[in-house]
């Protein structure tokens, strides 16, 4: 759970970064303009509404932000701070001096956060082949530089000499910033490049690459679009939720039978009972009566954006190893449904949460918790293992991937140097203030016995 002293908005402030989108400042727009541009005359799936509300180049939330990304001039000297109070005072000073609203953990805890990731990679990779790393949504390049720094200092010389680090970044301004940041070390420049494209677009990856590689995704999953399904009671069929615009401004939900392939795949992975009808395969008359007397509407949020990205990655890089970090839990969520998001906006310097995702019309962040068990299931599904299990139940097959989920504190204690982020009295913000975040590691294996 989140630390009691942190609200959901404060947690997001500490553990957040602008995503892989253009950061062109476009000025303010009226609510009516947002509604008109996000949802036109034709209804759209919830995932498309969320994508537009966040990433539309004209009216999306992130497109309204400043072009600057939070970058610290120097690393925080945690060992020189007395404790939590001193750290929070220092953090408040940093935010007041900066023109940005958020810093990422890799920035706040540089270089130690990136060093922990680099150590995890070195321990679990086959160093007999050239090391290749992709980072999706690399921000200002702080993670890339930290990883390259660590490998240069701690890995065999041949590993650093043959490494290639590719940032997949849709924002041209962030791409330029990454090149500048990594280029602060001359020898890094020849090993680093940025590909300005959408990582979820399969065409951008070209032909299938059978070579081993690593894919890093830090705080990417929480802003990926989700779909919503709804059932009016315990035995009614699940329906897809669409968003429609009435009278050019008012948004409402529209419910249709399950047809979308991504939604169907997510429901299959979750193994929702009787996915197409919503009813239990052995539903009893008593259950039917109970549902009529005490109807309980059901909502369920499905990470279809994550599923699509994993399908693309596994299709293009079948021997990839994956490391991702994100929220495992979000407190104070007002929106109903399993895996429901927080919808938060900031006006006049103060934050507030909306009661409905439909209120986000380009003026609010929409971010989701990551169900790490479901993430693992989707990972296996997209790698092909789960499909093989379903197709041939007579054969006992081992997992094609070895996976591990760790709390951030456990990850950093295993791979990082937690003493570097500890204050004089023992308080450690990296270990103590991110109780609701996790790391997910996934590596391929050919064990089928």
- pLDDT tens profile 90-134: 998 888 887 665 788 999 999 999 999 999 999 999 999 999 999
383 alpha carbon, distance to own chain's centre? 19
- Compute the Cα dihedral for 43, 44, 49, 52 and give only its sign: negative
The answer to whether 121 touches 147, Cβ cutoff 8 Å, is yes
> What residues contact residue 246 under an 8 Å CB cut-off, 6+ apart?
252
CA torsion angle for 39, 41, 46, 47 (degrees, to 10)?
-70
Structure tokens at 130: 């050239």
The answer to whether 201 touches 305, Cβ cutoff 8 Å, is no
Secondary structure class of 233 (helix, strand, coil): coil
What is the pLDDT at residue 57? 77
Secondary structure class of 308 (helix, strand, coil): helix
The answer to whether 437 touches 327, Cβ cutoff 8 Å, is yes
Rounded distance between C-alpha atoms, residue 356 and residue 335, angstroms: 6
What is the pLDDT at residue 8? 39
State yes or no: cis peptide before 111, omega within 30 of 0. yes
What is the pLDDT at residue 209? 95
What is the pLDDT at residue 406? 97
What is the pLDDT at residue 116? 98
Structure tokens at 162: 């043959």
Rg, the chain, Cα only: 23
pTM of the model: 0.84
Q: What are the domain boundaries of the chain?
A: 68-226+303-330+368-386+397-443
What is the pLDDT at residue 349? 55
The answer to whether 165 touches 208, Cβ cutoff 8 Å, is no
Secondary structure class of 434 (helix, strand, coil): coil
- Cβ count near 292 (within 10 Å): 11
| 68-226+303-330+368-386+397-443: CATH, from 1.10.287.3510, 3.40.50.150, 3.40.50.300, 3.80.10.10 | 3.40.50.150
In which residue ranges of the chain is pLDDT below 70?
A: 1-38, 63-69, 99-101, 248-249, 273-295, 347-350, 385-399, 446-449
- Cβ count near 287 (within 10 Å): 14
């Amino acid at each position: 759970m989140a630390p009691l002293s942190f609200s959901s908005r404060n947690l997001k402030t500490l553990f957040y970064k602008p995503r892989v989108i253009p950061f062109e400042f476009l000025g303010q727009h009226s609510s009516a303009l947002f509604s008109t541009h996000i949802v036109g005359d034709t209804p759209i799936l919830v995932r498309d509404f969320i994508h537009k509300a966040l990433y539309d180049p004209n009216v999306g939330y992130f497109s309204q932000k400043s072009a600057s990304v939070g970058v610290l001039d120097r690393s925080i000297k945690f060992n020189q701070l007395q404790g939590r109070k001193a750290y929070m005072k220092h953090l408040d000073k940093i935010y007041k001096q900066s023109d940005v609203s958020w810093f990422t953990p890799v920035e706040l805890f540089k270089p130690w956060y990136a060093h922990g990731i680099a150590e995890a990679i070195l321990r679990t990779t086959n160093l007999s082949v050239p090391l290749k790393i992709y980072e999706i949504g690399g921000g200002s390049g702080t993670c890339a530089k930290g990883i390259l720094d660590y490998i240069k200092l701690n890995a065999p010389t041949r590993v650093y000499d043959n490494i290639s680090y590719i940032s997949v970044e849709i924002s041209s301004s962030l791409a330029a910033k990454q090149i500048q940041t990594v280029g602060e070390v001359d020898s890094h420049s020849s090993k680093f490049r940025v590909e300005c494209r959408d990582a979820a677009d399969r065409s951008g990856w070209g032909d299938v690459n059978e070579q081993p590689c690593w894919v890093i995704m830090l705080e990417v999953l929480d802003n990926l679009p989700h779909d919503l399904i709804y059932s009016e009671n315990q035995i009614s069929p699940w329906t897809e939720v669409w968003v429609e615009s009435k009278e050019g401004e008012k948004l409402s939900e529209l419910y249709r039978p399950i047809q979308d392939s991504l939604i169907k795949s997510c429901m299959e992975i979750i193994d929702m009972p009787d996915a197409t009808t919503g009813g239990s395969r052995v539903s009893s008359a008593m259950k039917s009566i109970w549902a009529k007397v005490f109807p309980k509407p059901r909502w369920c949020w499905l990470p279809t954006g994550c599923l699509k990205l994993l399908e693309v990655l596994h299709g293009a890089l079948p021997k990839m190893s994956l490391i991702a970090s994100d929220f495992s839990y979000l407190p104070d969520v007002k929106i109903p449904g399993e895996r429901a998001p927080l919808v938060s906006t900031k006006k006049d310097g103060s934050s507030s949460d909306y009661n409905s995702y439909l209120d986000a019309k380009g003026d609010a962040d929409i971010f989701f918790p990551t169900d790490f068990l479901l993430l693992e299931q989707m990972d296996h599904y997209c790698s092909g293992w789960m499909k093989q299990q379903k197709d041939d139940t007579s054969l006992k097959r081992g997992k094609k991937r070895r996976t591990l989920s760790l709390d951030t504190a456990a990850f950093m204690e295993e791979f990082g140097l937690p003493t570097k982020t500890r204050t004089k009295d023992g308080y450690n913000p990296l270990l103590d203030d991110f109780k609701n975040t996790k790391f997910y590691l996934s590596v391929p294996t050919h064990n089928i016995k």
